[in-house]
Chains A and B, each alone.
Chain A
Amino acid sequence: MKSWIRGGFACALALLAVPAVLTAQQQENPTLKGGISETGLRRVVIAVPLFSAPADSGARALALEVTRTLRNDLEASGYFSVVPPKHYRLIPASAAGAEPPFHEWQGVGAESLVQGSVHLDGDRFRVEGKLFDPAGRQMIMGRRYRGTQDLGRQIAHRMADEVVLHYTGRRGMAQSKIAFVARVGQAKEVYLMDYDGRQVRRLTANGSLNLSPAWSPDGERIAITSYRNELPALFLLDKQGNLKKIRLPNSALNISPDWSPDGETLAYSASRRGNADIYLLNVDSLRTRRLTSHRAIECCASWSPTGRELAFTSDRGGSPQIYVMDAEGANVRRLTYQGSRNDSAAWSPQGEYIAYVSRVGGSFHVHRLDLATRKVTQLTFGRSNNESPSWSPDGRHLVFASDRTGGYDIYRIPAGGGEPVRLTRTEGASAPAWSR
């Protein structure tokens, strides 16, 4: 071969190989950046074969539940694309102590692999999971969990979050919970469910109106407004189901609690003779402080993750709009200028966005405001009413209440926009609050 043809051929191949090198690197270390990205966020292809179990029906049912939950969690996170199980059922499960057949897993496109097993352990079960990198032919990490059979989903959620943490450096949402309110006859009670809508359990049972749950940052308590003692007052709900009233100076109306990021202060709205304003309550000392004193309605505060500012609703301009002020109540600035009515602000966990609802064509729709660019993005569409957005802990998803089927239910949507996923089927669920 003439030297210049050889040279040209070599150079051409080298140029072609450059993207190949990059892709190969991505395969070995498919670490992903977090944050909302409407385009270009490539999902890692992951395989989750059925967890193995000894020939005992209890363990096998648990293995099935753990596997399916883990697959759903990884797919729902938005970071992974789970290889459809039918494509790898022929790959043999590796014997205990042996390496998985990495080459076969690569053959079905898996860039990542989770293999696990379930064993009886006395009156409980032990679940073991291992995360593998088929291209690197190595195990990345292993985890073992023990619990009763009813906790299979929780174990899978824990594993999913570990995998997400490894790839993104951020906590996943699989273990997070959503508190919400559901109609029970004439009353409204507070409920809790997993992030995926499963394992619904009731938290209040006082037969009155229980509204607007708000999580403490440590997840130990939920603040609510309850009519349990006749007038709407603030209560704290704990994990044992105890409801404790907070003694506040204005007794007529105390609503829309929101917990500061350091867990020490509750912002809420109280009314003095018909004028609702934002107040702060120190949860330990029970001292209160008034932040706004405008004649207009001020309510529905949402703390920024820095704890230095609050977004809130005020109709001082003639209609409800979103404003921001600092934590002393000074420096009030209006944020929303599009749409006739804007309400229900929710500050994103990383601080870059505010989700809220805006009136579009006769009903409310969830919107996202980018605080840096002031760009507004509409997230829900159609003729339904959509209210109370709340962010996932990793800031990549929102839950909200929508009456698109006639009655209200809770839905989840990627914060970048997309198809909402229905989480409840009550036709009477509202006010979702995602744990932090």
Chain B
Amino acid sequence: MIPPRIERLILVVSLLCAVSMLPACAPKYQPVSEPADSVPTTSSHDPSDMDSGDADQLEEITEPWGEPPAIDEEDMPVTVLQARATEFNELQVLGDIFFPFDRNDLTEESRGRLAAHGRWLRAHAEFGLFIEGHCDERDTDEYNLALGDRRANAARDYLILLGIDSTRLQTISYGEERPVDTGHNESAWSKNRRGHFVVQVLEGNANLGG
């Protein structure tokens, strides 16, 4: 049996608690029709002399990340050899080779084409190759950079096997960044999974007027 005094206490406390819960039950939103942008006006009286709280410190806000320096472009003089290299590339004398999805295997067709490229290189001793590896869009950007690098090196290794001096062959991967066909189907993708060959003048020959 609960003593009467305690009983009364429980009643009072319970009522108080129940009452204090009321505001959370159903927030009473008052619908209003004031315009959206009225900013309450204050007097120019400075509120900083309000007491209480730690409003003493004044933080300076700055914005650190700046604009990049402007692009610095140099014009390089073009030698005769470089002009020839440009012409070879525009004429696409060395055609692309193509790869199956997610692989760097050389098909028989690819090997035949690489053999032709090897013969061209033997006939044009002043030039070397930049071998580009490309991918279709389907894997992630970064994975494709690595896969493109594998493809470029697969072509390079085969040319070395054919007797081309390794110092004439450089590789670069563009991953999925430079598609020739931006379609989203196998027709486009198969065109993008490629090794591409860019003729360049060899280092030592760069300055030859020839």
Contact = CB atoms under 8 A, between A and B. Distances in A.
From B1, B41, B152, residue with most partner A Cβ within 10 Å? B41
A109 B23 CA distance: 7
> Does more than half of chain A's interface fall in helix, strand or loop, or is it mixed?
mixed
Interface string B159-196: 00000000000111110010000000000000000000
Given A141-B53, A239-B66, A274 B150 contact: yes
B105 interface: no
Interface string A301-314: 00000000000010
Given A96-B47, A205-B70, A364-B140, A17 B18 contact: yes
A16 B18 contact: yes
Interface string A17-59: 1011101100100000000000000000100011111110000
A230 interface: yes
Interface string A63-88: 11000000000000000000111111
Contacts of A7: 1-2, 7
A147 B28 contact: no
A234 interface: no
Interface residues of A, number: 111
A390 interface: no
B143 interface: yes
A154 B61 contact: yes
B154 interface: yes
A17 to B, nearest CB: 4
Nearest to B35: A89
Contacts of B149: 252-253, 271, 274, 276
A128 B17 CA distance: 36
B165 to A, nearest CB: 15
Interface string B55-91: 1011111111111111100000000000000000000
A147 B64 contact: no
B199 interface: no
Given A232-B145, A297-B147, A344 B140 contact: yes
B68 A202 contact: yes
Interface stretch (A206-214, A284-292, A368-376, A413-421): A206-214
Interface in B1-28: 1-2, 4, 7-8, 10-11, 13-15, 17-18, 20-21, 23-24, 27-28
A313 B141 CA distance: 12
Interface size range on B against A: 35 or more
Interface in A300-339: 300, 313, 315, 319-320
B46 A119 contact: yes
Contacts of A55: 41
Contacts, number: 274
A320 B67 CA distance: 38
Given A108-B27, A117-B42, A17 B65 contact: no
B59 A10 contact: no
Given A54-B42, A108-B29, A315-B102, 7 more contacts: A96-B43, A109-B29, A145-B58, A274-B152, A297-B146, A300-B142, A300-B143
Interface of A: 3, 6-7, 9-11, 13-14, 16-17, 19-21, 23-24, 27, 45, 49-55, 60, 63-64, 83-90, 93, 96-97, 106-109, 117, 119, 126, 128, 130, 135, 138-147, 150-151, 154-155, 158, 177, 188, 192, 201-207, 209, 211-212, 225, 230-232, 239-243, 252-253, 255-256, 269, 271, 273-276, 297, 299-300, 313, 315, 319-320, 341, 343-344, 357, 364, 387-388, 430-431
Interface of B: 1-2, 4, 7-8, 10-11, 13-15, 17-18, 20-21, 23-24, 27-32, 34, 36-50, 52-55, 57-71, 102, 104, 139-143, 145-147, 149-150, 152-154, 156-157, 170-174, 177
14 contacts: A6-B11, A17-B13, A20-B21, A21-B17, A27-B23, A52-B39, A86-B31, A201-B65, A205-B71, A211-B177, A212-B141, A241-B68, A276-B146, A431-B141
